[in-house]
Every structure is written in C-alpha cells, then in structure tokens.
C-alpha cells in the first residue's frame, strides 16, 4: 500500500504562542504539507507501515514586515485498525482508527536567526476510506501531540500539537 496525502494541523495554544502574540508577532496557527505512507496489510482489517512528511507554517509581524517560517520534517510508524468494512457499489467503505508515533525535526527562522529541535510525536485519528480494491480515497481527523521545549527561551514551550486533518489517495498492488 502506498498513500499520498496532504495534511494540516491546527495548533493548540502554548506559552510560546502567547508570548509571540504579546511581542506583536502572528502565531503559527497551523502548518501543513505532503505526507507519504508505505504499509502492508496484516489482514483485511489491520495495516502497519512507516510514514514521512514535510510541513510548513508562516508567522511574522502583525504588519507583515517580518515574515518567519516554521519547517517540519517527521518520520515514524503507523498502524490502522478497521472496525467497519462494507461493500458499497463497486467499491467498499472502511471506517477505523489510525495511530502513529515517531519524531519531528522542527526549525524556525526569523530575522536571520534560526532555531531547531527534534522531538517525539504521536497521534491518533478516526479514519474513513472509500474505493475499489486497487485505489481508494481516505480522510482522517484526529489529534497530534508534539512539544518543543523552551522554543522561546527558558520555560517558553511551543506546542506543535493540535487537531490534524488528512486527505489522500491510497494505491494497493
């Protein structure tokens, strides 16, 4: 199985985001980018595999004079468990959960200064998939947990956690 998807995370509040707002900077409200997952079906209801994704977020001043960027690179493993698997016309509908764990390398650049950090990430999502045996469309909504400690200085953690949305295409041999 090969999945090619697009994802977006709407980030939750954190001390770092609150400080950015106080400094007159826009916060990284969301980030998103491409996602590739490669997996193998252990049965008709269980799939396991690995993923890699890129992410990008934009911040800056409220006036837009200074633009800063947040870049994310993530990799890890996933498991999918389908509880519902029904035929629907020429295809089938599958509903289940998607769980993943891995690491995220994050980098920020603002006014010629750069910071970077690697942190653990994990998440879970409700998933629905519709398609024929060889190709399917899928969508997920869930939660992502990833914390960048001291991103804005001592005790000013930045949360990269939030609600995550994924839409993509699955191809199976």
The pLDDT value recorded for residue 69 is 80
Q: Say which DSSP state 149 is in.
A: T
Domains annotated for the chain, with CATH where assigned, are 2-171 (2.40.160.20)
The pLDDT value recorded for residue 109 is 79
Whether 138 and 128 have beta carbons less than 8 Å apart is answered as yes
41-54: pLDDT as tens digits? 999 899 999 999 99
Report the C-alpha gap between 110 and 97 in whole angstroms: 37
Q: In this structure, what are the phi and psi dihedrals at residue 112, rounded to the nearest 5 degrees?
A: 65, 10
Report the C-alpha gap between 110 and 101 in whole angstroms: 29
């Amino acid at each position: 199985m090969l999945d090619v998807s697009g994802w977006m995370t709407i980030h939750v509040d954190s001390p770092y985001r609150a400080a950015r707002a106080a400094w007159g900077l826009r916060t990284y409200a969301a980030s998103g980018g491409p996602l590739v997952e490669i997996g193998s079906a252990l049965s008709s209801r269980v799939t396991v595999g690995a993923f890699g994704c890129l992410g990008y977020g934009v911040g800056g001043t409220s006036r837009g004079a200074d633009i800063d960027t947040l870049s994310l690179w993530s990799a890890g493993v996933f498991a999918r468990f389908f509880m519902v698997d029904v035929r629907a016309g020429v295809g089938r509908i599958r509903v289940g959960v998607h769980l993943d764990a891995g690491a995220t390398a994050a980098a920020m650049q603002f006014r010629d200064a750069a910071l970077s950090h690697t942190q653990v990430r994990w998440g879970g999502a409700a998933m629905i998939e519709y398609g024929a045996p060889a190709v399917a469309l899928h969508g997920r909504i869930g939660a992502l947990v990833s914390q960048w400690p001291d991103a804005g200085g001592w005790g000013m953690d930045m949360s990269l956690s939030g609600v995550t949305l994924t839409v993509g295409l699955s191809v199976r041999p």
